[in-house]
Amino acid sequence: LPRGHRLPRGHRLPRGHRLANRARQASSRQRQPIRPVSNLARLPLRSRIRSPPPARRRLQHPSHLPRPDLPTPRSPIRSQNEVASVNETELVSGELPDEEDIDPCIGPTDRAPAEPIELIVTDADASQRLDAFLAKSLPKFSRVQLRKVIGAGQVRVNGQGTKVAHRLAAGDLVRISLPPLNSAGPNPENIALDVLFEDDAIIVVNKPPGMVVHPARGHWSGTLASALSYHFSQLSQLGGPTRPGIVHRLDRDTSGVMVVAKSDPVHASLAAQFENRTTEKEYLAITAGAPDRDRDFIEQPIGPHPHHREKMAIRAGHPLSREATTFYEVQERLAGFAVVKVLPKTGRTHQIRVHLAHLRCPVLCDKLYGGRSEITRYQLRPGHPAPAPAEGDDQVLLARQALHARRIRLQHPVSGHPIEFEAPVPSDMLTVMAALREIAVAANSRR
């Protein structure tokens, strides 16, 4: 058939003809009804795929106009050096507060830095860590501040960037760019202090719960540093202007004994004892749950929590984890709770709280690691009995973590004689222990 002609009505091509299949397909397409739009969902998936919209044309900045200087966005992912500089902000005592530290001496809002300082490593200082060498050579800056400077890349050894734990060799050239010191210290405040001991070198105080040791984010007033600045005219400045006399620290809700230095040489001597772990610190804790053993060592490395920025966690093999050792001894078991004596051998951040939570016996009312911030007498009863609480059972007995620094033993920084100080157990913890003893006696009498 010529192209474009059709067979007469009633005539068909013989089977097998080369135009038979083509004609049959064409006739079937003509007989196919038009599908309404409402039946679009019934079509096969291939029929429902829409073609992509045409790509938009990107507008180019006119070449005759000046291009604005836009700030370069900072990546939300911090480098390992930045993380190390944040998590290694640890004093030689190793005890950090649970709130975030804000160091006014080193920060992005400081004035223009001074001229770089160059130091030559002598034979006597060879094989020292970089942060220890800088702390010895620059006594006006604490090791915490110097570690932040190293983490910020402002310290170079022989022209190369380095780490905090870098070991120096004789003849090395250390070049450091330091920010200016902030002369503004904490505002002196007339806050009563429980002074346990005082002489010409040291002050020993019993820190109450709820008091922050030094100014930090959200806690610029009511600190221990402000109270010390008001009551004492002579305090060491080795820890920086915002931490006068502060050698070691306690968490905000941890009470207990603290040693304060009056001069820089005394501060350096006490700091060396904490760093060499020659001091003996004893804590008293009430735990929710009782450990299986009466006494034992907990040896688990502690590092930053993978998801919660304010918490620490047991993290073996993590590059920022550090070894931690804690000895504990159960002094009393009371109806699902326990009174535990704790002696930390190292001073990692939240060490006691993390290690006890690792035993599934967190510190009572430790909101961060135990999930409870307060407890009443009724809630102390095992299993929460079905009868309604009696009068006074709804009273809150404890509204902070039941952790108390009870005793500290060290050498006097001037005489060298061993000295020991003890802070009495606070009333809120004594009330909880008394209530637990009453509940335990009542439970035994029913048996």
- What's the CA gap between 372 and 141, in Å, rounded? 39
DSSP, residue by residue, 112-159? -----EEEE--STTTT-BHHHHHHHH-TTS-HHHHHHHHHTT-EEETT
Question: CB–CB of 331/300 below 8 Å?
Answer: no
- Joined together, the tokens standing for residue 157 give 């050894």
Check residue 256 and give left, alpha or beta (phi > 0: left; psi -120 to 50: alpha): left
- The residues near 192 (Cβ < 8 Å, ≥ 6 apart) are 227
Q: Is 251 an annotated catalytic residue?
A: yes
Which amino acid, residue 194?
D
Point out the catalytic residue in the list 98, 125, 131, 251.
Answer: 251
- Joined together, the tokens standing for residue 297 give 């060592």
3-state helix, strand, coil in the chain (%, to 5): 25, 20, 55
Element (DSSP H or E) covering residue 361? none
**CB under 8 Å, gap of 24 or more: what pairs does 275-279 form?**
275/92, 275/93, 277/345, 277/346, 278/410, 278/411, 279/408, 279/409, 279/410
Question: CB–CB of 377/397 below 8 Å?
Answer: yes
The residues assigned a catalytic role are: 251
